[in-house]
Chains A and B, each alone.
Chain A
């Protein structure tokens, strides 16, 4: 079945780095755009970054641009989020999500269970 499984979350000190992974299965990974979306405790959904089907076009939110990098390894069916210079306000549940489309966002139809990132000294 179609599935996304995130990993790599944890507790990290401010200013440090962390890399999240999202393993995909059950669909043709190289045919779809992918996203990272986060949710701080008791808050709403916040878009983090997106990547096109081939992994060539990348977009990110103002709040993370220059610190976070999204990438897509189609040979490994895996999505990544490299997070550098982490701040306490980056503390959140991080979800990866599959898009219905290959490039633009038509809707995120599959979501993982999320991985928790806590930035604290």
Chain B
């Protein structure tokens, strides 16, 4: 079955840029979405169709998807960005989530 691989954790200093990767076979051939989940809360869609932001999501969150890797980039990281982030793709009528990445803002 199709799998998406994310690093378990990423650390970043306030104001710096954080990059969270998501790897899967030919991932660039399909759309990737990203979700933010803060402790005790439901997930929130932050990026869809690789690089689109829903209304209300800050411009400092951006996405890309090429080859086998999708990337969520958070510029000027703030304390409020500390959360778990999940990538998600669609393959052969099946939905797949990555294992999640815990972003820590030091």
Residues of chain A touching chain B, judged by Cβ–Cβ distance below 8 Å, are 35, 37, 44-47, 50, 59, 61-62, 95, 97, 100, 104-109, 111-114
**Cα A100 to Cα B22 with chains together (Å):** 21
From B42, B54, B95, B98, A95 is in contact (CB under 8 Å) with B42
Contact across chains for B48 and A106 when beta carbons are under 8 A apart:
yes
Neighbouring A residues of B37 by C-beta, 8 Å: 45
B interface size (C-beta, 8 A): 25
A96 to chain B, nearest CB (A): 10
**Cα A97 to Cα B97 with chains together (Å):** 14
**Cα A47 to Cα B8 with chains together (Å):** 19
Contact across chains for B43 and A106 when beta carbons are under 8 A apart:
no
Contact across chains for A105 and B42 when beta carbons are under 8 A apart:
no
Contact across chains for A35 and B95 when beta carbons are under 8 A apart:
yes
Q: A95-B43, A109-B45 provided; 14 other pairs, C-beta below 8 A?
A: A35-B95, A44-B100, A45-B86, A45-B88, A59-B93, A59-B94, A62-B1, A97-B43, A100-B48, A105-B88, A105-B90, A107-B31, A111-B42, A113-B42
